[in-house]
Amino acid sequence: MSSQPEQQQQQQPQSTSKPPHLDPATYPRTLHLPAQNIHLELTYNPLDPSIALSQTSSPSAGANVLFLGTTRDTFEDRPVLQLSYTTYPPLALKTLSAIAEEAVSKHGLTGVSIAHRLGVVPIREASIVIAVSAGHRGAAWRAGEEVLELCKEKAEIWKMEEFVDGGAEWRANRDRDAEGRAV
């Protein structure tokens, strides 16, 4: 008999499940700030622009601006098959919330809705929907573009461009300006 204590090693079962932030079954992830009429969503489902408009509409809004960012079929003359997006939701929702709250404060908006699709986004389908409402069109136009640019610059959402030839490249959302020029 050995005087050494016997050590039992328990083997942990191998988990084949995805972490919750990568598991589409744990979505949509939403955040609603009713005091400012802010609606945020991260989802694997196709985006519905009519929902974003209905969330931001208000009797005091004379202007409602809607933006859809869609997957196009080429990038620098290279045929694109699809885009694929991933994120870490707690961080992304915190950033999107800060962007929306700042827009409401700066532009006097009556509502903001930002929805971003995750996973595979085929050609012609929307990866982002932004709706803003304001009393007047000037504020709504400026805010809509500003919200989009800040989402692309700051939101922790990462994009893989998948090409028809089988290649793929991770891209920063902010690798191009509003006119498509490299930044």
Please report, in tens digits, the pLDDT of each residue of the chain (183 residues total): 444 444 444 444 555 688 888 899 999 999 999 999 999 999 999 999 999 999 999 999 999 999 999 999 999 899 999 999 999 999 999 999 999 999 999 999 999 999 999 999 999 999 999 999 999 999 999 999 999 999 999 999 999 999 999 999 998 766 666 677 776
Residue 143, strand partner residues: none
Positions at the binding site for substrate: 136-137, 152, 159-161
What does the pLDDT read at residue 123?
Answer: 97
Which of 25, 18, 37, 40 minimizes the C-alpha distance to 116? 40
Which of 133, 91, 81 minimizes the C-alpha distance to 116? 91
Positions at the binding site: 136-137, 152, 159-161
Q: Are 40 and 32 in contact (CB under 8 A)?
A: yes
Rounded-to-integer distance, Cα 5 and Cα 162, Å:
56
Residue partners of 11: CB distance under 8 A and separation at least 6: none
Backbone angles phi, psi at 105, to 5 degrees: -65, -45
CATH T-level fold of 37-172:
Aldehyde Oxidoreductase; domain 3 (3.90.1170)
* H or E element that contains 149: helix 137-154
Residue corresponding to tokens 């006097």: 108
What does the pLDDT read at residue 50?
Answer: 98
